[in-house]
Amino acid sequence: MTEPDANPLEYAPAPESATVAALRERYRPFIDGEFTDGTGAVFSSVNPATGEPLAEITGSAESDVDRAVAAADEAFRRRWAAISGTDRAKYLFRIARLLQERSRELAVLETLDTGKPVRQATEFDLPNAAAWFLHYAGWADKLDHAGFGPSPEPLGVTGQVIPSNFPLLLLAQRVAPALACGSTVVVKPAERTPLTALVFGELCEQAGIPPGTVNILPGDSGTGASLLAHRGVRHAVFTGSTEVGERVRRGLAGRGKRVTSELGGNGVNIVFADAAPEEAVRGVIEGAFFNQGRVRCAGSRLLVEESAAEEFVARLRDSMAELRVGDPMDRNTDVGALGSTAEVERLSELVERGVAEGASRWTVPATLPRRGDFMAPTLLTDVQQSMSVARTEIFGPVLSVLTFRTAREAVTKADNTPYGLAAGVWSEKGSRALWTARGLRTGVVWANTFHRFDPTAPFGGRGESGNGHVGGAAGLEAYLDV
């Protein structure tokens, strides 16, 4: 038998080709069915993994917002709500197909723009975006049967502000039901990640959607604020942090608008001593580090039963050490880049504060790329309920470990937050897992799994995590006058 060599199995870098993304030098606003020269300031979109600019984008000024809302209003009254549900369904179906056909290009573009691992963009973001359109295509001509009574009416023009963590998927989750209901949309993608949304405008063109039905306005938070506050916008949909969400809601108070806010979270994974250990470890890792932890439903807190805590944390550490952090374009990468340098700084400060408050820090022994906005996945143990890391939304690759003694205590600790988005429960005992799920004050509970999404399953928050739902018939409600 041969001697084993020192390093018998390496994962060679398996880089995806950036040319697939078909990057252009300049991207422009999509208004009333065509790409137009915006009148806003020109800005560039930067690849957070390299710090290099990807393209220039013409931003949208007030006049562009006016124009887009007017186009959406016109389309709503004459072209979109007026056509049959069946026809709307076919347009949505066309978009779904186009998303499937161009999924590789869009996945790579999404990776370049966000820093998320290309494998995730390919296997999660894009297929789900297409699935959402496909699901809601089916609803467009079945609204009478959605449970809101006969002939539910659309609200009208919807203004949507989309965040930077899942630019295209979150757009799909919000635009598909709006269009299915007969509303028209004006979308403001995140300033840092507008590229896939703008290519989406091209898909709408290719699908032949009536002009004005979908409008995309790249720009900064000012553009978003003027869009949501615009008199012609009947329904304001904001997705982002709770802090900004509250500000947005305050700004829109008393304007007779419907406001849907999908805000932050401080999700928890509850691991009982009888949990299937390996799957629970994987689930906790997935929960905390999927999309670099930049998920509002991330399981950034781990509550583990005291009697099993030591062994579980040891396993967790071993498995975390295997995470491959680095180039998002490498298909072997598990954890990619964060959204910006500012985010890395914010998270570092948060971790420092946790340590100052008494937590112990451990980070994955990964060699980070020299350039780009990377952060090694971090584990904080000895965390107490009162510490800032256990109270605030993390939105990054930081996992805090707390313990509990009884199921009741676990639920109390998990619920002891103003947020209420998602939680995980790990136990091989069915009745206890479901009892715990019942007790948790969250919109979603993943029992013995984590981060599962499907267009047929409602997903949404409670409390300070916001009031909207995406998915299923529940996802239609926000866009209907019911």
Partner 1 sequence: MSEDEARVSTRKRVTVPKTYKLYVGGSFARSESGRVVAVADADGTFRANAAKASRKDLRDAVAAARKAFGGWSGASAHNRGQVLFRVAEMLEGTRDRFTSEVAATEGLSATEAERAVDTAVDRMFWYAGWTDKLGVLRGGVGQVSGPYTVHSTPEPVGVVGVVAPRRSSLLGLVSVLAPVLAAGNSAVVLVDTELAVPAVSMCEAMATSDVPGGVVNVLTGDPAELISRLASHSDVDALDPGGADESLRGELEETAAGSVKRVLDAPLVEPDWSTAPGTGRLRAFTELKTVWHPLGE
Partner 2 sequence: MVTAERHRRLPRMADSPSSSPPSTGPPGELTEATRDEAALTRFLRGLPGIDAVGLEQRATALAGRAVKGEAKLRAIDRAVSMVDLTTLEGADNASKVRALAAKARTPDSRFPDVPRVAALCVYPDLVAEAVTALRGSGVGVASVATAFPSGRSTPRAKLAEVELAVESGADEVDMVIDRGAFLAGEYGRVFDEIEQVRAACGPAHLKVILETGELGGYDNVWRASWLALLAGADFVKTSTGKVSPAATLPVTHVLLRAVREWRERTGQTRGVKPAGGIRTTKDAIRYLVAVREVAGSDWLSPDLFRFGASGLLNDLLMQRETQLHGHYSGPDQVTVDL
Binding site for partner 1 (CB under 8 A): 131, 147-149, 242, 245-247, 249-250, 252-256, 258, 261, 263, 418, 433-434, 437, 440, 442-449, 452, 454, 456-460, 462-467, 469, 471-474, 477, 482
7-15, 155-163, 190-198, 472-480 -> range binding partner 2 (CB under 8 A): 7-15
Residue 282 in the binding site for partner 2 (CB under 8 A): yes
Residue 321 in the binding site for partner 2 (CB under 8 A): no
Binding mask 112-141 for partner 2 (x = CB under 8 A): -------x---x------------------
Report the alpha-carbon distance of residue 478 to residue 416 in Å, rounded.
28
Q: Which does 443 bind (CB under 5 to 8 A by kind): partner 1, partner 2, none?
A: partner 1
| Number of shown-chain residues binding partner 2 (CB under 8 A) | 27
Tell me the one-letter amino acid at 354.
Answer: G
Q: Which does 2 bind (CB under 5 to 8 A by kind): partner 2, partner 1, none?
A: partner 2
DSSP type of residue 407: H
Residue 454 in the binding site for partner 2 (CB under 8 A): no
In the chain the first and final C-alpha atoms are separated, in Å, by 73
DSSP type of residue 123: I
Report the alpha-carbon distance of residue 270 to residue 468 in Å, rounded.
25
Residue 277 in the binding site for partner 2 (CB under 8 A): yes
Residue 5 in the binding site for partner 2 (CB under 8 A): yes
Report the alpha-carbon distance of residue 236 to residue 161 in Å, rounded.
8
* 211 within 8 A of 34, measured Cβ to Cβ: yes
- Give the Å distances, CA to CA, from 275 to 133, 270, 331, 437: 36, 10, 31, 15
* 455 within 8 A of 136, measured Cβ to Cβ: yes
Q: Which does 97 bind (CB under 5 to 8 A by kind): partner 2, partner 1, none?
A: none
Measured at the alpha carbon of residue 52, what is the angle toward residues 263 and 217, in degrees to the nearest 5? 45
Report the alpha-carbon distance of residue 212 to residue 201 in Å, rounded.
11
Q: Which residues of 291-330 are buried (b: 16+ CB within 10 A; e: fewer)?
A: bbbbbbbbbbbbbbbeebbeebbebbeeebeebebbbbbb
In the region spanning residues 373 to 392, those forming contacts with partner 2, defined by CB under 8 A, are: none
Residue 356 in the binding site for partner 2 (CB under 8 A): no
Residue 25 in the binding site for partner 2 (CB under 8 A): no
Nearest Cα to Cα of residue 328 among 188, 137, 122: 122
Site for partner 2 (CB under 8 A): which residue of 56, 141, 246, 274? 274
Residue 241 in the binding site for partner 2 (CB under 8 A): no
Residue 87 in the binding site for partner 2 (CB under 8 A): no
Shortest distance, CB of residue 197 to partner 1, whole angstroms?
25
Shortest distance, CB of residue 351 to partner 1, whole angstroms?
27
Applying CB under 8 A, the residues found at the interface with partner 2 are 1-2, 4-5, 7-12, 14, 119, 123, 274-279, 282-283, 322, 331-332, 428, 448-449
